[in-house]
Structure 1
Amino acid sequence: MRILFLSYWGLDDPLTVSTVFPHLQLLQQRPDVESVLLVTIERNGKAPAFRLPFAADKVEFAPLISEPGRNVLVTKTDDFLRFPKQLVQLAAAHRSDFLLARGAPAGALAYLVWKQNKLPFYVESFEPHADYMLESGVWRRYDPRYLFQRHWERKQKQLARGLMPVAENYRRQLISEGVPADQIVTVPCSVNLAAFGYDAARGADVRRQLGLPADAIVGIYVGKFGDIYYDQEAYDLFAATAQHFGEKFRLIVLTPNAISDVQARLAAVGLGPERSFVTKAQHHEVPGYLSAADFAFAPIKPADCRQFCSPIKVGEYWANGLPVILTEGVGDDSDIIKAEGGGAVFNLDHPETVPAAVRRIAELVQQPDYRQQTRQLAERYRSPERARQAYATFFGA
């Protein structure tokens, strides 16, 4: 098999590192895979140096360069006009047997390639992206990006040889919409379980570097504020947690947001620099910070379509053994937490659920084996083995 693997993100984007690379490694290991052409979309106007964190003699690289510095609508329009033509040329030169797209936006490009050359395509991490962006307030209902993406998602449901949604909730929804069940395999966002495993020594080093008291109760949040995530509500959640744990509570925030702004907003809710640490971190640095924490936050904005997602951060938290304070109605994860543990859920429409969730976390972190128990959820639900099985279903064992 010769596969064109399309990532909608750049080569060095954390989402590519955390979600695409593990799947490339799975494909690299298959004896029937002759070559994988990895295509990424680079938005800074230049091609990055190609490197992978594993031996990959079967993987080639071809970036698509998006012109930077323009209005986002102009840029996206240009991308979707130019990139399908370039992908057709790349697929022909590579002699690709099919295109494997990561995410519904990449799936839209795969469909546009199919229109030109009928190259079969599969879409993994398939989610209702247009509805995500609409319900999060990022796109408006009459935004051309929303209208086109929604249309292209319908086409993916009709024409893709296989869809790999990230949640069982969405698999059931797709079947109800008429997508044949044998063309759907659920693959939650995979996590590198070894890389994100708990490392007590590394965690202790981080605690010493940050000057955290030995008896500190440490919460951690990895991600941004705003868009599909809560903004001020997240800071209020941190404050409510601090109120419960008292002076022992410390907070680590790893975020792409402006550090000074995050620090100021934390100080405004009583979590100044003596009780919080904020930084940007490379993906390989994150496990060390997770190992220094006792539990984690995932304050994701609620929306109807959120039940169809699979936040990578939840899988990474679980892989490190961290129970998660998670918004109710997020993917399969909030139901897993209710049924099997691994955290606590809250719903801001019912304010009493916030202190209840914090109390539940406090109970969990007192259990001597809570990290091992939580880690088992990642092994059960977020292992790359799920992707391996999906590939076997669609491409042959």
Structure 2
Amino acid sequence: MADCLHRSGGRCMSRRSPRVGRLKISVPSEHEPGLSVLYITYDGLTDPLGRSQVLPYLAGLTKLGHRIHVLSCEKQAREASDGARIRALCEAAGIGWHPIRYHKSPPILSSVYDMAMLRRAAERLHRRHRFDVVHCRSYIPAMAGLHLKHRQGVRFLFDMRGFWPDERVEGHSWPQINPVFRAVYGYFKSVERRLLRGADHIISLTHAGKRQLLTRAELQIPAPQDAITVIPCCVDFDHFPLTTRDGRQAARRMLGLPQEARVVAYLGSLGSWYMLDEMLDFFRVCLERDANARFLFVTHDAPEPILQAARTRGIGTDRLLIRPASREEVPQFMCAADFGLFFIKPVFSKLASSPTKMGEMLALGLPVVTNSGVGDVAEIVEETGSGVAIDRFDDEAYREALERIDGLSMTPEMHRERALPWFDVELGIARYDRVYRDLAASAG
């Protein structure tokens, strides 16, 4: 991926990045053969999350000797445009890919149908490949995985990715004023209890999420803390090389940003959880300190809602730059920034959230301004010293945060180096490998 980035014009990055303290993964000995693993994901490999949060891990695990097959739900348009490229990547990594069609409508019933298709496909693949472990990303795939465990005795790894039923309620996708959605929420909370009881091991994205899980009655077993491993949303540090001064200048020329301006950057979609209004309020305070500041949004979201929210705050739309980016372009665009910004609603379900954008920003050497009450975000900021985590949303807090971010004395190299123990994808690969092998040992 790094080679592809640099061939595609990523001249704003250094060719090789500091690797101080980076985990080195050794290939297991002949006495530790790899396992046959079925990885089930509701997110497609052709989705951005599939590229960034599924394939890098699985490619690393195949290098450690595991035989990986992926069962994924793919959106028709994305599979048509990117399917050939993803299949080539899988074949190069030695991964078997078995896509099925994702269905969006009608609501709820389409998910039930997809779940049935995943269950049927998982059994068919198991008859052919005889899996040791079924590794399930989130709840709907996990229901198929639990079924495979009960029917075939396959070890079941529940990779939670968050408290999904509570996310649907707190994100207003399942409004509880509607009796249908109340019933759906109740059903999936019962499913959650079955998955927690039935899992041979659980992956939590955050330590905060793990602490919450350890209070659950379903996990009141001997040494429950040993049944949960924390693996955050990790980052391929080769794909997000360290930003250099020359690189920042080149990126600003490419994007048409003033060289002398302070540039704040946001990365990713602006869905239910990301607090656009509060981030624009923060930028309005930033403009008080530097009238020439710019807010760069690297997102595929439509520009107009962002621009309209800025107008209501008296922020000139010429102060904003909104650009979509491919995965290869993201590092090129983001290195134009002085620091990254993201605010997330601090609600219960977000205790289990690990924002991918945080690791990507820190990998580039950018400090971050964010908020507490979300996963391990505040703990990471405090431990690494790579930014500011505010605990309230008002102008005074924003001014204090800007003063603190200006007062940081760490270099980009230090931001990157201190992020490695938290976010390096090689760390995630090593932890998954250990979980796989422990599951195989316990089965014996």
Structure 2 counterpart SS, 1:247 = coil
Q: How many Å apart are 1:239 and its aligned residue?
A: 1.9
Report how far residue 136 of structure 1 moved: 2.7
CA distance in 2, matches of 1:203, 1:83: 45
Counterpart in 2 of 1:166? 205
Instruction: Report the more deviating stretch, 89-98 or 279-288.
Output: 89-98
1-structure distance, mates of 2:90, 2:413: 27
3-state SS of 1:278 partner: strand
Say if 2:323 is the partner of 1:279.
yes
Q: Which amino acid aligns with 2:42?
A: Y
- Provide the secondary structure at the position in 1 that maps to 2:210: helix
- Could you state the TM-score of these two structures normalised by the residue count of structure 1? 0.90
2:194 is aligned to 155
Bigger relative contact order (CA 8 A; separation at least 6): 2
The answer to whether residue 168 in structure 2 is matched with residue 133 in structure 1 is yes
Which runs of 5 or more structure 2 residues have no equivalent in the other structure? 1-34, 439-444
Alpha-carbon distance between aligned partners in 1 of 2:184 and 2:76, rounded to the nearest angstrom: 21
Name the CA shift for 1:338/1:160 in 2 (closer, same or farther; >3 Å). Answer: same
What residue number does 1:67 align with?
Answer: 103
User: Which region of structure 1 is more displaced relative to structure 2, 281-290 or 52-61?
Assistant: 52-61
Compute the displacement of 1:57 (Å).
4.5
What residue is the counterpart of 2:364 in the other structure?
320
Match of 2:420 in 1: 379
Contact 1:121–1:160 (CA under 8 A) maintained in structure 2: yes
Give the fraction of aligned pairs with identical amino acids, expressed as a percent. Answer: 26
Query: Which residue pairs with 1:355 in the alignment?
Result: 399
Q: Say whether residues 1:24 and 2:65 are aligned partners.
A: no
Q: Does the aligned pair in 1 maintain the 2:265–2:339 contact within 8 Å? A: yes
Is 340-349 or 164-173 further displaced after alignment? 340-349
- SS of the aligned residue for 2:229 comes to coil
Q: Which of the residues 153, 158, 182 maps onto 1:123?
A: 158
Ranges in structure 1 where 5+ consecutive residues have no aligned partner: none
Question: Matched residues in 2 for 1:52 and 1:264: separation?
Answer: 41
CA 1:129–1:377: 2 relative to 1, 3 Å:
farther
8 Å contact from structure 2 (residues 161, 352) kept in 1: no
CA distance in 2, matches of 1:290, 1:151: 42
Match of 1:44 among 68, 71, 76: 76
SS at match of 1:176: coil
Shift of 1:147: 2.8
Task: Give 3-state SS (helix, strand or coil) of 1:92's partner.
Answer: helix
Residue among 247, 250, 269 paired with 1:205: 250
The reply on whether 1:176 has 2:215 as its aligned counterpart is yes
Partner in structure 2 of residue 306 of structure 1 = 350
Q: Map residues 223-302 of structure 1 onto 2, 5 A cutoff.
A: 223-244=268-289, 246-302=290-346
What is the Cα deviation at residue 291 of structure 1? Answer: 1.1
Q: Secondary structure at the match of 2:92?
A: coil
Equivalent residue pairs, number: 390
| 1:145-192 deviation per Cα after TM superposition (whole angstroms, max 9, x unaligned) | 433332222222111111111111222222332262222111111100
Question: 8 Å contact 2:45–2:54 — kept in the other structure?
Answer: no
Q: Distance in 2 between matches of 1:131 and 1:325?
A: 26
Distance in 2, Cα, partners of 1:271 & 1:198: 31
Q: For 1:17-57, what per-residue CA distance to the aligned partner results, in whole angstroms no more than 9, with x for missing partners? A: 111112112211113x2x21112111337663233558735
- In the other structure, the counterpart of 2:437 is 396
2:59/2:93 contact within 8 Å kept: no
Contact 2:243 2:412 in 1 (8 A): no
Write the distance in 2 (CA, Å) between the matches of 1:28 and 1:203.
Answer: 36
Paired amino acid for 2:202:
L
Bigger mean CA deviation after superposition, 263-272 or 352-361: 263-272
Partner amino acid for 2:284? A
Give 1:249 shift: 1.0
Q: For 1:16 and 1:317, locate their aligned partners in 2 and report how far apart those are by CA, in whole Å.
A: 19
Which residue pairs with 2:16 in the alignment?
A: none
Q: Deviations over 1:237-266 (max 9, x none)?
A: 22222323x223111101232123323333
Q: Which whole-Å deviations, capped at 9, do the CAs of 1:192-221 have from their partners, x for residues lacking one?
A: 012112232443322002222221111100
CA distance in 2, matches of 1:248, 1:356: 20
Structure 2 CA distance for partners of 1:73 and 1:54, relative to 1, 3 Å: closer
Q: 1:77 to 1:97 in 2, by over 3 A?
A: same
Residue 173 of structure 2 aligns to a residue whose secondary structure is coil
Q: Name the CA shift for 1:17/1:209 in 2 (closer, same or farther; >3 Å).
A: same
- CA apart distance, 1:301: 0.9
- Structure 1 Cα separation of the partners of residues 228 and 211 of structure 2: 9
2:135 pairs with 1:100: yes
Structure 2 equivalent of residue 214 of structure 1: 259
SS at match of 1:248: coil
Residue 407 of structure 2 aligns to a residue whose secondary structure is: helix
Match of 1:79 among 99, 107, 114: 114
Please tell me whether the aligned partners of residues 105 and 129 of structure 1 are also in contact (alpha carbons under 8 angstroms).
Answer: no
Residue among 88, 111, 118 paired with 2:123 = 88
One-letter identity of the residue aligned with 1:80: M
| CA distance, structure 1, for counterparts of residue 62 and residue 387 of structure 2 | 35
Verify the 8 A CA contact 1:199 1:288 in the aligned structure 2. Answer: no
Cα RMSD (Å): 2.4
What is the distance in 2 between the residues matched to 1:255 and 1:317? 14
Contact 2:286 2:402 in 1 (8 A): yes
**Pairwise CA distance, 1:320:** 0.9
What is the distance in 1 between the residues matched to 2:36 and 2:120?
19
